[in-house]
Structure 1
């Protein structure tokens, strides 16, 4: 078995544990800690960004000035060069196997919210991006980790992908989501996405849920 990231032989790396490879992840030891974890780092209490001390970053200070409701975002990892390479391979090249790299950390973190009664709702992909990628990249993270979720949203946005926009263009984004008419909304929702950049997209989803009377909304992203 080959490591999904570097291609090294996982069986040789695992030694005698290779006898039980059917019950393990296809990741070598070197790649098991590929990303910079935020779990024990000081982060912004608003967006989850890595900070020198746990205080609101400049972006979140501005968000609080603009928004009456300011839900906290928790992130798993720093969005550094390694993370960017991961997202390029996963999201834009379609190498779904690399999602195993975040499976265990994601499962552990999200189970905490499930125990607290939150229903997880992943942000959907636009129709244009879905036709190109042929899979729901955010939902697949949850499916691989066997995390239950419900999809309340349709993505109706058009135009350039968020990754191709400048910060100014991102901040001018209009509401890209609508609620599905056939779903019953829960009291507590955890919105889940892959990357938190400006926070504009996920906070538009928050606004939509609030307008429908959901008062307890939290955010979770893989990278920040």
Structure 2
């Protein structure tokens, strides 16, 4: 007897095309007696081990779970073209092109307000980095950045949010930023204490003009920066 028919691939088409590589169970638990309406506020969710193929690149969701008021997710992405991500941002779509591919990984744990008895609490981190390729910025005369390194990270532990950025390129020059801000009531506000170290050496800042949000803006000059900032955000100038 013939075996079961193969499971049809789950995919979307168009601008944001993606394909679920193989069937993955999605388990949703609702409160007893809530019926279909309980799907809007599930008590538990489990979606683990999913591999999503993009037109180029992949996203692997190792885990996405909800247990009561707590959400947790881990995963990674590889070989994702910047041009694919630019579809989500009109500014990027208009001003950036090239063959730059990015990787990423994340591990996040969120406890909602009902779990903490106050403000939501987030722990974990997100890491995005250059894998290969380069990007050009500008509309009429695109400028290749000559990227060698792009690495950005954000980590939350307790009430501390730490962000780190490393940039190195033939046209961009170098920049390294490491900052930690103390959240107040689960939020970053103008009174949040900040510790930051920033160093930059850019022979030209002209490549930043397309990101200023003003068409045909021209920038010139160089930037050398070495700064430490132990102060509230409101005093940072």
Assess same fold via TM > 0.5.
Answer: no
Q: Which has the larger radius of gyration?
A: 2
Greater relative contact order (CA < 8 Å, ≥ 6 in sequence): 1
TM-score class, shorter-chain normalisation, is: under 0.3
Specify which structure has the higher proportion of strand: 2
TM-score w.r.t. the length of structure 1 is 0.26
